[in-house]
Amino acid sequence: MEAWKLYSRTLHTGEKVLIATNGFWADRAIAMAENYGLEVVRLPGPSNETFKFEDLEKEIIKHKPVLLFISHGETSTGVLQPLEGLSKICHRHGCLLAVDAIITFAAVPLFVDRWEIDAIVGAPQKGLAAPPGLTFLSFSERAVERMDKKKVNPPFYLHAKKVANCWRCLNDGPAGFHYTWNSNMLCAIREAFLQLLEKGLANTWENQTKMAERLWIGLEKMGLKLWVPNKEKRLPNVTTVILPEGIDVKKVCRYAYDVLHTDISFGIGPTYGKCLRIGIMGYNCRPEIVDRALEVITEVLDKYPIYSKQYTSVGVNSWGR
Amino acid sequence: MEAWKLYSRTLHTGEKVLIATNGFWADRAIAMAENYGLEVVRLPGPSNETFKFEDLEKEIIKHKPVLLFISHGETSTGVLQPLEGLSKICHRHGCLLAVDAIITFAAVPLFVDRWEIDAIVGAPQKGLAAPPGLTFLSFSERAVERMDKKKVNPPFYLHAKKVANCWRCLNDGPAGFHYTWNSNMLCAIREAFLQLLEKGLANTWENQTKMAERLWIGLEKMGLKLWVPNKEKRLPNVTTVILPEGIDVKKVCRYAYDVLHTDISFGIGPTYGKCLRIGIMGYNCRPEIVDRALEVITEVLDKYPIYSKQYTSVGVNSWGR
């Protein structure tokens, strides 16, 4: 979500960016880009499919953007976008590649340096299962070069080079004091990384895939259809499942939460009103949690005709609208 | 410290601001203002005294700034700046009043609305004794009007009106989703406020004053001089005490930390190399902590000739330089 940082640090007002748009987070990126006065070219994609590299290249050639923004995982639709090789296409045409990896960080194979991603943002509260409140950022040499050329300063607080210097990422004089860090968050994240190291990253990815398949098979056995038909293109940690027509998705979520004490999300953006979004990741990425989720969904759908009459969906946040 | 937010939301590039400068944090405010391309008029003040309102008014008349920035408490020097009545002077000349209240928040009497402060910033990690990582902000109607007139958008993430809307401070449509909050911090701050309410704000202020006086008397009994001679002008929760000449302040702090497990700061800005800065506030604002601080300082000075020979001051952060 904090992909805005990518803009504020690498781009000038008025410059052109290409945003691959297939869900809520890409729309956010557009809102951010427009907030910064960038010229936005949106490339709409289907909401249950990935973007094809050849289509992206065509748009890059046509519009000559300085940056392509794309979501690695789009949680509003459950689509996982392949990224390997995309930067080569971008760089061939003098374009930077910026990626939102909030949901995929520590859950899905992601090689920032090997795939030559120029700007990427991750978060602690998804695959890493740490509390929310900080952001992971990485910039390529190419992106840093661009920042160095930037004439307008980024906001003081968000000044990537000043922050990088404090973290001794740069050999640029003494670390100095930029601002008071959120020390509790740093401890929490350190612990989360230790747990990840103990488990191993490859094991974590493998387990995530297994749990996703366990969930998908379970849902399909219940006669439900998944939003993303091709399983290779599904995000393994957020699953979008279509509910039978006539069911008020918010009531389902509310009942699951209030009565069964299980937090399942409703669809946002393209899946709004149509899907449940089931997030299984981090500490919860275990067979018993997957099975419990399946039980809850079974019960929630079975009982729907009964509770839906007396239940209003008021109080469930409506930010997907 | 995050006083930069005040600039980014209320001012345009090129506008003139007056910054009352008597320590490290005012210097920071200047760095932030310059980062935003504002025209900075600095009004230097003595580092062991408060600013006089008549001097401030003269400068406002002379320079016609759109905003006066001043620190309520300047932790680098230990000066507490009176604020009551200052906004009247500012408003008479069409100037906003912006205040850094990081250190005074929940420790010292402060009436944001009654004193008509236009923009103010506080923090959880000082008087409130909660973890660091969030900021408290308040804007007057006057400041909000100015924001509404602003042509250049603030960064998306720092968009005060969007954030205010999410917190339902404004009656401006549904709350929506701005970004993922740091939920752990919100819980910690809620708990800290509950503790403050139990104790009572007036009791907290009174206790802070008592503990400060206990500390000051103790230090003076040891033959030490306080940096701010007039006790009415001293910040009660950060005390700056002058060390005898020839003593390496960093070595003293390092020894206190390593051997006596007590974290006392060295001076920064105007007090660098000259003072210790003793912070006693929040949970630590108790007689036994004051007495322990006095014991530690006694020991640290008594033993100085011995440990100073073998001790280097390397490793103590040098951000005050």
Task: Give per-residue pLDDT as tens, B226-252.
Answer: 999 999 999 999 999 999 999 999 999
Per-residue pLDDT at B174 exceeds 60: yes
Evaluate whether B72 touches B274 at the Cβ level (below 8 Å): no
Whether the predicted pLDDT of B155 surpasses 90: no
**Residue of B131, B155, B180 with shortest CB distance to A155:** B155
Please judge whether A155 and B179 are an interchain contact, meaning their C-beta atoms are less than 8 angstroms apart. no
A281: closest CA among A192, A213, A208?
A: A208
Please check whether residue B185 is in contact with residue A133, taking contact to mean a CB–CB distance below 8 angstroms.
yes
What is the distance between the terminal CA atoms of chain B, rounded to a whole angstrom?
17
- pLDDT for the residue numbered A179: 84
Look at A133 and B184 and tell me if their CB atoms are within 8 Å: yes
**Nearest CB to A183: which of B132, B174, B183?**
B132
Q: How high is the pLDDT of residue B35?
A: 82
Per-residue pLDDT of chain A (321 residues; tens, 9 = 90+): 344 555 566 677 778 999 999 999 888 889 888 888 889 999 999 999 999 999 999 999 999 999 999 999 999 999 999 999 999 999 999 999 999 999 999 999 999 999 999 999 999 999 999 999 998 989 999 988 887 777 677 777 777 777 888 888 877 767 777 888 899 999 999 999 999 999 999 999 999 999 999 999 999 999 999 999 999 999 999 999 999 999 999 999 999 999 999 999 999 999 999 999 999 999 999 999 999 999 999 999 999 999 998 877 655 444 443
More confident residue, A92 or B166: A92
Q: Which H or E run contains A176?
A: none
Give B2→chain A minimum CA distance, Å.
7
Q: Which of residues 209-268 of A touch B (CB under 8 A)?
A: none
Q: Which residues of A touch B2 (CB under 8 A)?
A: 157, 179
Distance in Å from the first CA to the final CA of chain A = 17
Rounded average pLDDT over B77-86: 98
pLDDT value at residue A8: 60
Query: What pLDDT score does A7 carry?
Result: 58
* CA–CA separation, A214 and A211 (whole Å): 5
Q: At what angle do helices B183-199 and B201-221 cross, to 10 degrees?
A: 80
Residue A99 · residue A119 · CB < 8 Å: yes
Cross-chain Cβ contact A133/B182 below 8 Å: yes
| Residue A249: strand, helix, or coil | helix
Which amino acid is located at B146 in the chain?
A: R
Contact with chain B for residue A135, Cβ under 8 A: no
> Residue B239 in contact with residue B289, Cβ under 8 Å?
no
Torsion of CA B252, B129, B113, B17, to 10 degrees: 40
Give pLDDT, residue B145: 86
Which residues on B lie below 8 Å from A134 (Cβ)? 182
Q: Is A223 exposed, middle or buried (0-12, 13-18, 19+ CB in 10 A)?
A: exposed
Residues B178 and B155: beta-carbon distance below 8 Å: no
Other beta carbons within 10 angstroms of residue B150's beta carbon come to 13
A118 vs A69, A93, A98, B256, CA distance in Å? 10, 14, 6, 45
Average pLDDT, stretch B29-55? Answer: 92
Of A152, A180, A319, the CB nearest to B125: A180
How far away is chain A from the Cα of B312, in angstroms, using its nearest Cα?
Answer: 18
Output the pLDDT for position A245. Answer: 93
CATH class of B4-123+135-166: alpha beta
Contact B177 A125 (CB under 8 A): no
User: Residue A319: its pLDDT value, please?
Assistant: 43
A156/B182 CB distance under 8 A: no
- Classify residue B123 as exposed, middle or buried by CB count within 10 Å of its CB (0-12, 13-18, 19+): buried
Q: Judge: B180–A125 Cβ closer than 8 Å, yes or no.
A: yes
Q: Do A131 and B184 touch (CB under 8 A)?
A: yes
Interchain contact, B185 vs A181, CB within 8 Å: no
Superfamily assignment of B201-310 in CATH?
Aspartate Aminotransferase, domain 1 (3.90.1150.10)
- Per-residue DSSP letters for A270-300? GGTTTEEEEE--GGG-SHHHHHHHHHHHHHH
B182–A131: do the CB atoms touch at under 8 Å? yes
CATH topology of domain A210-310: Aspartate Aminotransferase, domain 1 (3.90.1150)
Q: For Cα atoms A315, A319, B2, give the angle at the middle one, nearest 5 degrees.
A: 105
- At what angle are helices A201-221 and A287-302 packed, to 10 degrees? 20
Cα–Cα–Cα angle for A161, B184, A201, rounded to 5 degrees: 65
Is residue B187 over pLDDT 50? yes
The answer to whether the CB atoms of B317 and A183 lie below 8 A apart is no
Q: What is the ipTM of this complex?
A: 0.85
Is residue A74 within 8 A of residue A82, CB to CB? The reply is no
- Is the CB of A173 inside 8 Å of chain B's CB atoms? no
B121 touches chain A (CB under 8 A): no
Percent of chain B's residues with pLDDT above 70: 92
Which three-class secondary structure state does DSSP give residue A41? Answer: strand
> Would you list the domain boundaries of chain A?
4-123+135-166, 210-310
What Cα–Cα distance (Å) separates residue A184 from each residue in A180, A188, B189, B190, B251?
11, 6, 13, 16, 28
